[in-house]
Chain A
Amino acid sequence: MLLVDSVSKSFGGFLAVNQVSFEVKQGEILGLIGPNGSGKSTLFNLISGTYKPTGGTVRFEQRDITNLPPDRICHLGIARTFQIPRPFKKLSLLENVVLSAYFGDDALRSEAEARRRAEQALETVGLPTDAGVSVQSLGAAGLKKLELARALSTQPRLLLADESLGGLDHQEMEQAADMLHRIRSDLGITIVWVEHIMGVLMKVVDRVLVLDYGEKIAEGLPQAVATDPKVIEVYLGDQIALA
């Protein structure tokens, strides 16, 4: 579905992502992990068009999307969330999502339909659909959900979920994992899930990709990756919990 081929990104002399290649298969949940600063979010920005890669290509459903702008990539069916939530604070909660539903599908011309899709997305993530709710009333977990609702309202086939540095407690993280699982099984959306804590992620994902210093150091089934010596070295001191 998504084919990332030796993609690189450098900022000045700093190589943030170095020749990373991987594939995302239809219907799977791929976990993308790595310590802070390992290039996970940069990789997301490269796929979603926010950054232009300095090398390599990205293909989505057989189509080269490497140099397309972010709005086009969204229209093609890739939605993303941001690591640090970026709500539109001047708009209400519902307006945030209606806006995304309306502009996220370039064939959509009906505001009523956009509103229907927005309400559906809000229900999926468990946020209120009444028009009066302001963004300011949401806490950290609520803002994360809003990110997801906005992404889902654009009717994606591939969701790039950046959940790292969540600031969520354990229970909230379990809920988030549960939700991603449901999004895949109920809506049939393929997911790439970024996280820097391995614990919860390992239980949900089908495969894992590990980044360190911008390079891919491991890829495979969660069980295999967790016992990979290179991964253990990177995560030395971190608890690798596999329930």
Chain B
Amino acid sequence: MKRWLPYGCIALLAVVPFAPVPLYYLHLAILILIMGLICTGWSLMGKFGLVSLGHGGFMGIAVYPMALLWNHYGLTPWLGAPIGVGLAVLLGVLIGYPAFRFRVVGHYFALITLALGEVVRLSIIAARELTGGSLGMTPLRVQPITDVSWYAVQFTDKRYFYVIALVAWLGGLWAWRLVNRSMARSALEAISEDEVAAASVGIHVTSQKLRITLLSAAMTGLGAIMLGQYNQYLNPNSLSGISISLEIVFASIVGGMYTMLGPTIGALITIVFRESLRAYFGATLTGMAETIYGLLLILFIIFMPRGLWGFVVARFAHPTGDTSRLEVAATR
């Protein structure tokens, strides 16, 4: 019974778009799945103490080349996407290798990544002849115009994107599971605690950290590519820079970066919350939604440091409240 539960959930998620669901909710579901993938990628680093404040950098560097290659050379996103993901991975090497090699850890690592997100954003804005600067750019409509173009990955029907996003998100969870069941998890756990002791038992600290960073960068890049392709609009402020980088961090913390579903739950909460607050306050009291969101985040960090989902999982698995066991349970 319990074994079949995940498959049941997946099947349920797969049929959602074929039920009469209002388009707006389908739109939200797509955004949640994509952000869920990105946050899952971020948490793969975050849960091992590699706190990145610049994952927006991996987004921008992945999605823009794909869109530009399509607009200027007509290269299908099926080829543009791997190129974009490859570039995100390359950026991961450029930032990760020196940082890990020279033992830039903790706050200093966070600061370096903070710069990374901004550098990518400013570069995109600076190349405004190509990218449209801060006004953003639109991938060209496929010619002749059709409703369904697999070649251009342009669909008028949202359900196509829903299925694509669902598959990618499941792929992200699968990657999480693979990492969690490998010896790399123990190694990264050890590294996050004591790099000297980890190295003394033969762990190559730099390569372990680099590998998880590259996986995280690839997942984030893929998420950004789907986001750009789904919206058919690219903006440097929403696909790179500090603001989206922090949104990823917040969502992962709120949901709980130590559990497999936590980051996705975080993405769900963030997106639903932002949308409903925006609908409630509308154009009056601009900034109120962000203020409430910020306050809630602080409360979460204080009272539920393992996130909402981490809290639920821990309570569910060990209702007696033995906290040391809770910690362990919540990390699985």
A120 proximal to B (CB < 8 A): no
The interface-forming segment of A29-37, A85-93, A212-220 is A85-93
- Per-residue interface assignment for chain B, residues 184 to 214, with 1 indicating a CB less than 8 Å from any chain A CB and 0 otherwise: 0011011011101111111111000000000
Q: Which of A59-67, A103-111, A179-187, A234-242 contacts B (4 or more CB under 8 A)?
A: A103-111
In the complex, the answer to whether A103 meets B201 with C-beta atoms within 8 Å is yes
Task: Please state if B197 and A86 are interface contacts (CB–CB under 8 Å).
Answer: yes
| Contact present for A90 and B201 (CB under 8 Å) | no
**Considering the chains assembled together, what is the distance between the CA atoms of A231 and B93 in angstroms?**
53
B186, A50: Cβ atoms closer than 8 Å: no
Out of B187, B189, B196, which one reaches A86, CB within 8 Å?
B196
Report if A134 contacts B (CB, 8 A). yes
- Name B204-254 residues within 8 Å CB distance of A: 204-205
Interface residues on A, range: 20 to 34
Cβ contacts under 8 Å, B205 to chain A: 71
B183 at the interface (CB under 8 A from A): yes
B186–A98 CB distance below 8 A: yes
Kindly state whether residue A20 has any CB partner on chain B within 8 Å.
no
* Complex interface: chain A residues within 8 A of B183 (CB): 99, 102-103, 111, 114
Task: Kindly state the separation between the CA atoms of A104 and B202 in the bound complex, as whole angstroms.
Answer: 4
Q: Which of A11-19, A74-82, A169-177, A191-199 is found at the contact surface with chain B? A: A74-82
Q: Which residues of B contact A91 (CB under 8 A)?
A: 186, 189-190
Residue B143, interface by CB 8 Å: no
The verdict on A95 contacting chain B, using a C-beta distance below 8 Å, is yes
| Least distance between B180 CB and chain A CB atoms (Å) | 13
Residue of A nearest to B325 (CB): A134
Q: Using Cβ atoms and an 8 Å threshold, which residues of chain A touch B198?
A: 88
State whether A90 and B331 are in contact (beta carbons under 8 Å apart), knowing that A99-B187, A102-B183 are contacts in the complex.
yes
A69 contacts B324, C-beta separation under 8 Å:
no
Q: Is the CB of A74 within 8 A of B187?
A: no
**Distance to closest chain B CB from A201 (angstroms):** 23
Closest chain B residue to A95, Cβ basis: B186
Within 8 A of B (CB), among A135-176: 136, 150-151, 153-154
The chain B residue sitting closest to A106, CB to CB, is: B202
Q: Are A71 and B199 also in contact (CB < 8 A) when A134-B324, A136-B324 are?
A: yes
**Assembly CA distance A80 to B187 (angstroms):** 18
Is there a chain B Cβ closer than 8 Å to A100's Cβ?
A: yes
Q: Please name all residues of chain A whose beta carbon is closer than 8 Å to the beta carbon of B197 when the two chains form the complex.
A: 82, 86, 88
A70 in contact with B186 given A88-B194, A134-B324, A136-B324 (CB within 8 Å): no
**Chain A residues near B196 (CB-CB < 8 A):** 50, 70, 86
Given contacts A103-B183, A134-B324, A136-B324, contact A90 B203 (CB under 8 A): no
Once bound together, how far apart are the Cα atoms of A48 and B189, in whole Å?
A: 22
In whole angstroms, what is the CA distance A99 to B205 when docked? 13
CB distance from B83 to the nearest CB of A (A): 33
B189 engages A74 (CB within 8 Å): no
- B193 and A71 contacting across the interface, CB-CB below 8 Å: no
> What 1/0 mask marks residues of chain B from 240 to 275 whose CB sits below 8 Å from any chain A CB?
000000000000000000000000000000000000
Closest B residue to A111 by beta carbon equals B183
> B200 to A103, Cβ gap below 8 A?
no
Give the complex CA separation of A70 and B202 in angstroms: 7
B111 smallest CB distance to A (angstroms): 25
Contacts A88-B194, A111-B183, A134-B324: A103 and B203 contacting too (C-beta < 8 A)?
A: yes
* Assembly CA distance A167 to B197 (angstroms): 20
Q: How far is the CB of A57 from chain B (nearest CB, A)?
A: 21
B200→A75 contact, CB < 8 A: no
Query: Given known contacts A74-B201, A99-B187, A103-B202, what 19 new A-B pairs fall within 8 Å (CB)?
Result: A48-B200, A49-B199, A50-B196, A71-B199, A71-B202, A71-B204, A74-B202, A75-B202, A89-B193, A90-B189, A90-B193, A90-B331, A99-B201, A99-B203, A103-B201, A104-B202, A105-B202, A106-B202, A153-B201
A-B contact pairs, 10 of them (CB 8 A): A69-B204, A71-B200, A86-B196, A88-B186, A88-B190, A90-B190, A99-B186, A99-B190, A114-B183, A151-B201
